[in-house]
Amino acid sequence: MRTLMRALLVTLASVAPALAADGSEMKGSTLLLILFLGFAALIIVFQFIPGLVLFVTMLKGLFTREPKKAAESVSEKRTK
């Protein structure tokens, strides 16, 4: 048991400097990161445009009056 505890202590002590690394070796953004962020931005834009069109269409439908002739013609077709 004592040997196991010592082995665990040695392992944790040797790992501590690796866990404390701050990542300062990497400077700037890599090309892959820039491409990934650009692709994500394109997905957001291409999803936003149809959503905006649907929203404007919904607002038009809510705030415009439907012509009475269209409603009357539908009721006439049903009675025929």
pLDDT tens string 24-79: 666 777 899 999 999 999 999 999 999 999 999 999 999 988 766 655 666 666 66
Q: Which pLDDT does position 8 carry in this prediction?
A: 78
| Contacts of 62 by beta carbon, 8 Å cutoff, 6+ apart | none
**pTM of the entire structure?**
0.42
**Given this model, what pLDDT does residue 77 score?**
63
* C-alpha span between 58 and 70 (Å, rounded): 19
- Higher-confidence residue of 45 and 8: namely 45
> Tokens 């820039």 — which residue?
34
| Whether pLDDT at 21 is above 70 | no
